[in-house]
Every structure is written in structure tokens, then in C-alpha cells.
Amino acid sequence: MPKTSEFVLAPAFERLVSEQHPIALARDAVLADASLNPKVLQLWRDLHDGGWLGLGTEAMRAEAMPELARMGEASGRSLLSVPFAFTSLVLAPLVEATPSLADEFLTEPLDAGPISGRIDLGGSAGPLLFDYVGPRAGYYQLASSGSTIVLRRFLAASHPVAGLDAGVPVLDFSEGHERKAAERRLDLQAKDVLRLLQPFFVFQYGHLLGAAAAALDSAIAYAKERRQFGRAIGEFQAVKHSLANAWVALDNARYAVNALAQADSTETVQRLVGITDRLVAAGAKLATRVTIQVHGAIGFAWEHDAHLYLKRVYKSSAQMTHIAGQLAAADLTSL
């Protein structure tokens, strides 16, 4: 990885992701036989070899934080189909703090393939679903058990099924499908968890903004080209105002993400998480809905990318709002 300076990490990450994870790969990340696309595995190895899977470790955290939102946007624009943020910004710092996890708890080294994870610090409601990343991959849950923070490992016991995200199937670890292999108690307090998850939130909200911004860009371009009644549809007030409102909503959300990245206390992080979540979720959903509306029927077609962005935004928004709601309401002395 290159020596870091202002806006060095993000451009390099953008090039890697845009070149090796085109939108087409988001459609075919998992093949018909439930194996991972070899291109996905190669990207994962390149992410590891380039040091990107260590962004959340102590050595990289301070330097990476100012650029994480931009890196997240790059991943969203490419609809990155691997759980990079959980591995790099949650699991890697946990392994750094507790080295025995790598030797005694992880099913495979971080570079072996994508690792799927979810965060349930206030308990999980409904099915226990994980993004599918292969039959032998590790599936991990960072959760609370009373006043204790635990990391749980699950083993895939069933085949993936289609989920809301068009390119990422899911595994159901609910009752009847669950195979919890192990559980490890972590020496973490609520303040530790907030500090740990700050980079994760910044990247993931950037991811949402990137997906929504890419969708909106396509809508703006289409509105300039598509003609009706002898005029480009972008000249009609209803279309023009809808696009402008969506752009402003994303811009406002981007300010919130940047503020969250700059927060220097656990109390500030806790306060900004809820605000950022509301602004990002609302702005990203608005932008992707407007994109579908501007494109009309073609926006729903499998051949067009508009519906891929909308589905990614709605799924990721639900995941982040679940985590943000728990942290925003948490007692800093105990989760």
C-alpha cells in the first residue's frame, strides 16, 4: 500500500474497485452452483495483499479515517458484493486486540476468502440472516450477551436463497438452520464498541451514498437524452425538481457522514450515528426511487442497473438502521 498522505488511499482504492469489480460482477458474484466467482476471490486476495483488509487496525486507523467515506462511496458506485467493511473495520481490529482469535477462532485466514458478518448489539429481531460468501466461509456475529460482548461463529448448514439485494444471496441461521460452532467473550465495553465501529459506520454510510449517487448520475444523464413532446424530459419541471431534491438530500447526508468521521469522543459518535443514519437512509432511498421513476419501466428491467442500486440501498439501509438504533440508545456504561 502506498505511503499515505491526503487523498492517496481513496484514489488507489477507487481504481482497484472500479477496475476489478464492475457492476456486471455484482450480478454474478455467486455462481449457479453456489460457489464464489473466481474474479471475486481474486479481488479479495488483492485487497489483502494491498493491505486494505487492515484499514481498521491501530496502525492505519488515524490515516484512513479522513478517506473512509470516499472509499465507501467508491465501493457503493461499483456495488461491491463482498463484506469488506465487516472484515477490515470490525473483524481485523478485533483480531489485533485479541490475537488468539486468528489462531483459535477464525475458520480461515482473512485472505482465504470473504468473511460475512452481522452486528446485533441489542439482540436480533426476526430471522438471523447473513450475506452469503461461500459454503466454507466464516459467518460471524458481534453481539451482546447481557453486559458482555461476544463474537459468535456459525457454519453454513443450508443453501443460500435469493435476498432483497439482487446480487447477494443470503443464508438463514434461524432456528432449524442454525449451526453455532463457537462463541468467544470479548474484553470490550460500550465505549470500546463505539470507537471500534466508528470507521465501519463511516465506510458503510459512504457505500450507501456512493450507490445512490451512481444511480442519480444515471438518471440525470438519461433525463438529458430521453425526449418527449419534442423536449428532453429533464426540462420538465417535475423531473428537474425531483432530481434536484435528490441531489440536495445526498449532499446533506454527505456532510453528516463527514461530521461522523471527525467525531473525537464516544458521546459525539453516539449522537451523530442516529442523525447520520436518518439523513443517509432518507437521501439514498429518495435518490434511487427518483432514478427508477425517471427511467420508467426500463428501470425495473434486469438488464438495467437502476434496480440494482435501489435494492442495495434498501437492504444496506435496513442493516445500518438496525445497528445505529441500538448504538444510539445504548448506555455508554453498558450495552
Scanning the chain, the segments in alpha helix (DSSP H) are 9-20, 23-27, 38-49, 58-77, 84-86, 92-97, 100-104, 190-225, 237-262, 266-295, 306-328
Domain that holds residue 237: 191-328
Question: Do residues 332 and 193 make contact, with C-beta atoms less than 8 angstroms apart?
Answer: no
The pLDDT value given to residue 283: 97
In a domain, 173, yes or no: no
Nearest 5 degrees, angle CA 198-CA 199-CA 203? 120
The pLDDT value given to residue 314: 96
In a domain, 210, yes or no: yes
In a domain, 127, yes or no: no
Q: For the chain, what is the domain count?
A: 1
What is the Cα 213 distance to its own chain's centre? 15
Who's near 233: CB < 8 A, 6+ residues apart?
A: 223, 226, 227, 239, 294
Secondary structure class of 90 (helix, strand, coil): helix
CATH of the domain at 233: 1.20.140.10
In a domain, 317, yes or no: yes
Burial classification of residue 24, based on how many CB atoms lie within 10 Å of its CB (0-12 exposed, 13-18 middle, 19 or more buried): exposed
| Cα(29)–Cα(317) distance, integer angstroms | 21
200-209 confidence digits (pLDDT tens): 999 999 999 9
The pLDDT value given to residue 334: 54
The pLDDT value given to residue 124: 63
* 200, 216, 226, 247, 301 from 310: Cα distances, Å: 21, 10, 21, 15, 12
pTM of the model: 0.93
Q: Which residues of the chain have pLDDT under 70?
A: 1-6, 123-126, 175-180, 232, 234, 329-335
Instruction: Report which DSSP code applies to 165.
Output: S
In a domain, 159, yes or no: no
In a domain, 119, yes or no: no
80-100 confidence digits (pLDDT tens): 999 999 999 999 999 988 888
| Cα(137)–Cα(108) distance, integer angstroms | 8
In a domain, 275, yes or no: yes
In a domain, 32, yes or no: no
Question: Do residues 257 and 205 make contact, with C-beta atoms less than 8 angstroms apart?
Answer: yes
The pLDDT value given to residue 125: 62
